[in-house]
Every structure is written in structure tokens, then in C-alpha cells.
Amino acid sequence: MSLLSLEGLTVDLPTPRGNLRAVDGVDLALAAGQTLGIVGESGCGKTMLSRAILQLLPKRARVGGRVMFEGQDISKLRPDALRRLRGPALAVVFQDPMTSLNPVLTIGTQLVETLQAHLAVDGREAVRRGVELLAAVGIPAPEQRMGQYPHQLSGGMRQRVAIAIALSCEPRLLIADEPTTALDVTVQAQILDLLARETRRRHMAMILITHDLGVVAGRTDEVAVMYAGRIVERAPTRALFHGPRMPYTEALLAAIPKLDSAPHTRLPTIEGRPPDPTRRMPGCAFAPRCRYAEGDCVVGKPGLGPVDAGHEFACWHPR
Amino acid sequence: MSAPLLEVSDLVVEYRVGGRIVHAVSGVSLGVRRGETLGLVGESGCGKSTLGRAVLQLTRSTGGEIRFDGHSLTAMRGETLRKMRQRVQLIFQDPIASLNPRRRTGDIIAEPLIVAGVRSRAERDRRVRAVMEAVGLDPDTVMNRLPSEFSGGQCQRISIARALVLEPEFIVCDEPVSALDVSIRAQILNLLEDMKNRYGLTLLFIAHDLAVVRAVSDRVAVMYLGRLCEVAPTDALFVRPAHPYSRLLLDAIPMPDPDIRPIEGVAVGEPPSPIAPPSGCRFRTRCPRADAICASEMPELRLLAPEQYVACHHPLTGS
Ligand SMILES: Nc1ncnc2c1ncn2[C@@H]1O[C@H](COP(=O)(O)OP(=O)(O)OP(=O)(O)O)[C@@H](O)[C@H]1O
Ligand SMILES: Nc1ncnc2c1ncn2[C@@H]1O[C@H](COP(=O)(O)OP(=O)(O)O)[C@@H](O)[C@H]1O
Ligand code: SF4
Ligand code: SF4
Ligand SMILES: [Mg+2]
Ligand SMILES: [Mg+2]
């Protein structure tokens, strides 16, 4: 059985310009201990998808489909049952660590409160575990840090603290939404190492969301590519990089500047830009930018079709 | 060899913040040759933007000299400096924030012409239309629209058009594609290359993404905490980096190749504060090769291989 499976998940948001479909029928499954990368450009629905899994959507959002976690549909859970699930079962790390940190509480208080809310430990034990967690995420002098406030730390240190809090109750699934986008490349490498090490050590599943294909290449078991609210291709990581089938994936891979190409090499581009998510289109959302598009592409939406070895893609004329 | 078009000598820029001094740029010397693109890389806060703004004297330097085409910009004031600035332009990182939201696109691009004293409306109109077409904007559809009606990529085209309209000789590009998605990034990088050839430009190209720098630069300067570590031809820097920090930056890049396993543990620590930089070599607190001399003596930039300058007591040699 999958740890997590999404079935026909949709998220609609009312906006002044009309209904905005942020997530458009996503089917996805993730097994325990696996790392899945979700890649896509700004606005394609990555954050809305992760918030839908976490049941942390804006109030006015309307959700369709099912979010099955360990066999139960968590979109049907009452708030208190959901609260019990978050932390020990499902945890999250956001791009901006301040989204999950409280600016007026010390790091120590926040760690201890989380630990005590979910685990049967006394204050002393909670402090001991808090210090241990800070050390595990690579924070120097963890005892002193327990007494500091988030603003006294650098961006990289804050993200480490947010990860420590997310890991504190030993979740079975961690959702990391662009956890390193705001960080420098050397700090990013450290945070990605940390997440990889902890997922291995804890046999924890992770959804690693990013717009950077480089981030998922070496650190995921599978990758799903998102475009205009839909998963357009999903495959084991090596298969996706070596043999993309959907033209958008192919174009995205080609557009990355390569470290081994000669200076002033012209980059392949994807002309145009993603469609307006408040306008529904009948056919493939990538059609206006796709160089392989044919007449049928604008008529019907291609579904995510299964092929061999877990590689699926949504395209009428695959590569 | 002829004198560089831009010559920065021993530049120092300090900011005063609440009685303390931020050592943003501390003794940087470099030259940019006519027609070349010099890439400038380093982590956030290392002083790249400060250096870029000091080149235009938008931020006044504390010490040192900047010469452009033989004239000392640091000695210039008022009208002479303003005239000189028409030959040197700046493109910012955040394309949307750098454009006045209340002005129409046509007026934004025409503004430098007005400042430069081009009185004839017809003449301004002609030049604005020509430059719009050059950067791939359709004059008739964009002329009267506001920046908020455009995507990030289109706003960056508008900024580029504004920087080009006076036909400058030199452009400082401060992270022009950092805020853009992969597919749009390639479009803008190609556009900058085309514009460079068409207008015979010389570029100082600031970025934190080494792959982007590699794609456009003839030579690359690596900066750390207000000082230069290494200046080298692009290929030499990527194939045989001589400074331990250049090596670290290269190793930390997430490679979009699933067959390259990320090397865990390459990066340690974070850059120290520029308010109290370390004595001697500023990289020593994170450098695996640091020893006593690194703490006591500041390494000067010296020639190591043809055209390859490095500021390190124990440079990496060979491959
Ligand atoms: N609170 C909201 N109200 C209305 N629309 C929203 C809201 N949040 C996001 N959207 C819209 O939903 C769509 C998907 O947004 P989402 O934040 O999930 O994208 P994303 O892939 O995470 O992008 P990014 O890479 O920029 O983080 C976008 O069109 C966005 O403008
Ligand atoms: N106007 C300013 N006032 C005070 N400090 C500043 C100002 N601008 C930049 N700094 C500081 O100077 C250092 C270098 O900044 P900057 O040149 O913007 O770096 P980069 O562009 O490499 O990220 C940083 O520590 C930054 O916080
Ligand atoms: S369905 Fe058609 S338009 Fe869409 S990606 Fe495939 S070929 Fe291109
Ligand atoms: S001078 Fe010393 S500390 Fe600095 S980079 Fe070289 S070896 Fe490292
Ligand atoms: Mg997001
Ligand atoms: Mg900057």
C-alpha cells in the first residue's frame, strides 16, 4: 500500500478575474521511505498541491478528489484528528522558514512545545531532545541556540531550525516546499545533504518541491514534472533525465545552461510562457508553446498514461 | 594590450549602520576589456551589487578609483558624472520592482532619453520603438501598458530596453535572470548575448549561478566577503579552479545529471559577517587548507597561470 496517494486532486481558488484552477486533477502515489521530487515553474501549482496534501489551503479554496494517507482520506478528518496527524505523521518545511517559526518565541521553546504536544516526554527530556535535534541538523553550540530568537539567526540557520522542528516528532512523510530557494549555493548543499541524511536514517518519505532540476537530479528516487496544475510526466529519476517523453520536460532539460558547454553557446529556449490559470483550455496546456503540437493537441487533454517501468507521461505525440 | 575600458583600482566601499561599519567591498582591483563579458560571482552579501553600483558611482566609494575609458569616475561630480553615466547603464535583479508601476512602458523606456536631453518627441518615439523591437517587444501592443500587466520575463525585456536606449558602451547586469524561471531565463540570456553583439557592448555580469556565468562570460571573477579570490578565463576557472573557495562553489552546484552523486559534506559553515571580517584571508574560517599564515597575512591577488590570478597562500595546483 502507498503511504500517500492522491486521486483526482483539484484545487480551485476564486479570484476577481474568475475561478483559478491551481491544481487540475493530480493522481500520484508515494511509498514509505521514498523521495519524490516535484519540479515546475513558478505558478504551476506546486505549493497549492503541497498545501492540499497538508490540508493547509486558504479558507476560500475548494478542493476536489481524495488525499489518502496510510489508507484514510485525510481531507475528511476533523480538525483535532488532523492536528494529531501533523507532526508525527506529516510534517512540512517551507521556502521561508519564518512561515513556520514564531518570531517572539525562542528556538528552545518552539522545539520543546512541539515535542511535548505530540510525545509523552517531560520538560527535561524535551530539552535534551531539542538540543540533540539542533546538533543533528548541524547547528553549532546548540545549548546556547536554544535561548535565541529566530531573528538572531542567519537564513540558513533558521531553515535548519525549521527542519529540526519538522523532524522532531519523527514524521513518516516530510514535504519540503523549495527549502533551499532562498539560500546560497554552499548553504543549499548543506541543507540538501541534511535532508538526504535524515530521510535515510529515519526511513522517512519526502516530497522535495523545487523549480531547479539540479536539486532533484541526484537526490530523489522519482521525479514528477508539473505544468499548469497537472503532472505531465513522472518517472524514476534517471529515466526522466535520460529519456524524457513529454515535450515540456524535454524543453526544460534543454534550457538549463550546462557547466561543460563553451562560453557564448546559444541556449535552447521555450518561447512564450505558461497559460493564464483562470482560463480553461480544452486541449493540452503546453500546446501554444510546443513545437510538436498537432491539431488534436488543442482538442482533448492528454491524460497521464502508464508505460513501462513506472514511467508515465501526458502527451498525444510523445518523444 | 590596450587599457581596459573599465578599470577598478583598490576599490573600498563601506556602509555605516548604527555606528558600525559594514565592509562591503575591501580593496578590489579588476579591469574589464572592451567587448568582453566579465562574470562576477559570489554568495549573497559578498558585495557584488555594491561593486556594481559603485562602478556607476550610484553608491559612492570610500576609497580607490574607478576609471572608465581613461576618465576617473570617482573624481567626477554633477553634470560631468551624469553625462558619463549615459555610457554606462545598469540592469537590476528584480525586473518588476525596478520599474515604476505607475508609468507606461513607453515612458519608462523613454526616460533616459529625456534625462539625456533628447527634446524631440518624434526622435524619442523612434528610438523607443527601435529598441523595443530589438528586445522582442511589439511596440504597438506594449507602448501604453503598465509594468503590472507583464510577466517577470517581459519586465526584464523592458529593463533591458531602457538600459539600451541611449546606446551605452558598458552595462552592469546585476543578477538579470536570478528571478526568472528556467524557460524564461534562457530567452533573456540569449537576448543579452544578441544585444551585446548588435550594440558592441562590454558587460559586467553579476550572478550567483555559476552555470549562468559560464554560459555568457569570457572571464570570471570570484568574490568572497568583499574581496576577490580569483580572476581567470572562464574555461580555466571551471576546469582548474585555483582558489579553495572557487572549488567549493563549483562542488556545491546541484548538477542536473542523475549520474553525478552529490558529494556530501563539501560545504561547511556560512560566510561571517562583513561587520567583523576575519583577519588575514577572509575565507579562512571555512577553508580546509587554512593554516597560521592565513590568519595573519592577507593574500594578494597574484598571477598563477596565464591570465589566472588567485589570492591564496596555498592555491590548488594541477587539476
Ligand atoms: N491564496 C491564493 N489565492 C489565489 N490564487 C492563488 C493563491 N495562491 C496561489 N494562487 C495561484 O495559484 C496558482 C498556483 O500557485 P502556487 O503557489 O501553487 O505555485 P507554485 O508552483 O508553488 O509557484 P512558485 O514556484 O512561484 O512557488 C498560481 O496561478 C497562483 O497565482
Ligand atoms: N545601503 C546599505 N546600507 C548598509 N549595508 C548595506 C547596504 N547595501 C548593502 N549592504 C551590506 O553590504 C554587504 C554587501 O551587500 P551587496 O553588495 O548587496 O551584496 P551582494 O550583491 O553580493 O549580495 C552586505 O553585508 C549588505 O548587507
Ligand atoms: S500533447 Fe501535443 S501539445 Fe501537448 S506536449 Fe504533447 S505534442 Fe505537445
Ligand atoms: S589563503 Fe589560506 S585560508 Fe585563504 S583560501 Fe588560501 S589556503 Fe584557504
Ligand atoms: Mg511555491
Ligand atoms: Mg546583490
- pLDDT, one tens digit per residue, over A84-107 is 888 889 999 998 888 889 999 999
Q: Work out which ligand 1 atom sits closest to the CA atom of A48.
A: 18
Task: State pLDDT tens for residues A212-256.
Answer: 999 999 999 999 999 999 999 999 999 999 999 999 999 999 988
| Contact present, B99 and B159 (Cβ < 8 Å) | yes
- Residue A46: band (very low, low, confident or very high) from pLDDT cuts 50, 70, 90: very high
Q: What is the mean pLDDT of residues A275-298?
A: 93
pLDDT of B319: 38
Task: Give the closest of A42, A215, A259 to B214, CB-based.
Answer: A259
CB of B30 closer than 6 A to ligand 4? no
Ligand nearest to the CA of A51: 1
> Mutating which of A161, A186, A222 best tests the B interface, going by the most B Cβ atoms within 10 A?
A186
| Contact present, B5 and B169 (Cβ < 8 Å) | yes
Q: Which residues of B78-93 are buried (b: 16+ CB within 10 A; e: fewer)?
A: eeeeeebbbebbbbbb
pLDDT of A27: 95
Q: Say if B267 is an interface residue toward chain A (CB within 8 Å).
A: yes
CB contact under 8 Å between A255 and B270, yes or no, is: no
A266 forms bridges with which residues in the sheet?
A: none
> Mutating which of A137, A267, A289 best tests the B interface, going by the most B Cβ atoms within 10 A?
A267
What is the value of pTM for the model shown?
Answer: 0.88
Least confidently predicted of A64-73, A178-187, B44-53, B222-231: A178-187
pLDDT of B89: 94
User: What distance lies between CA A27 and its chain's CA centroid?
Assistant: 15
pLDDT of A1: 72
Q: Say if B288 is an interface residue toward chain A (CB within 8 Å).
A: no
Task: State pLDDT tens for residues B93-130.
Answer: 887 888 999 999 999 999 999 999 999 999 999 999 99
Task: Give the closest of B234, B259, B262 to A263, CB-based.
Answer: B234
Q: Work out which ligand 2 atom sits closest to the CA atom of B49.
A: 21
| Contact present, B178 and B148 (Cβ < 8 Å) | no
Per-range mean pLDDT, top range of A103-107, B148-152, B268-272:
A103-107
B6-217: which CATH topology?
A: Rossmann fold (3.40.50)
Return the domain boundaries, chain B. 6-217, 241-255+264-319
Q: Considering chain B, what is the average pLDDT of its residues? A: 92
- Residue B1: band (very low, low, confident or very high) from pLDDT cuts 50, 70, 90: low
Q: What is the mean pLDDT of residues B274-299?
A: 96
The secondary structure of chain A, three-state, reads: CCCEEEEEEEEEEEECCEEEEEEEEEEEEECCCCEEEEECCCCCCHHHHHHHHHCCCCCCCEEEEEEEECCEEHHHCCHHHHHHHECCCEEEECCCHHHCCCCCCCHHHHHHHHHHHHCCCCHHHHHHHHHHHHHHCCCCCHHHHCCCCHHHCCHHHHHHHHHHHHHCCCCCEEEEECCCCCCCHHHHHHHHHHHHHHHHHHCCEEEEEECCHHHHHCCCCEEEEEECCEEEEEEEHHHHHHCCCCHHHHHHHHHCCCCCCCCCCCCCCCCCCCCCCCCCCCCCCCHHHCCCCCHHHHCCCCCCEECHHHCEECCCCCC
Task: State pLDDT tens for residues A10-25.
Answer: 999 998 888 999 999 9
B107 class by beta-carbon count within 10 Å (0-12 exposed, 13-18 middle, 19+ buried): middle
Nearest to A210 by CA among A187, A236, A186, A192: A192
Q: Rounded to the nearest whole angstrom, what is the distance from the C-alpha of residue A277 to the centroid of ligand 5?
A: 15
Distance CA A112, CA B204 (A): 49
Interface of A with B in 52-91 (CB under 8 A): none
**DSSP summary character for residue B297:** S
Is pLDDT at B78 greater than 60 in this prediction? yes
Is pLDDT at B180 greater than 60 in this prediction? yes
CB contact under 8 Å between A157 and B270, yes or no, is: yes
pLDDT of B318: 47
Backbone angles phi, psi at A292, to 5 degrees: -105, 5
- Residue B2: band (very low, low, confident or very high) from pLDDT cuts 50, 70, 90: low
pLDDT of A267: 86
- Give the pocket of ligand 2 (CB within 6 Å): B 15, 17, 22, 24, 42, 44-50, 274
Is pLDDT at B281 greater than 70 in this prediction? yes
Task: Give the closest of B183, B218, B271 to A255, CB-based.
Answer: B183
pLDDT of B305: 93
Distance CA A183, CA A189 (A): 9
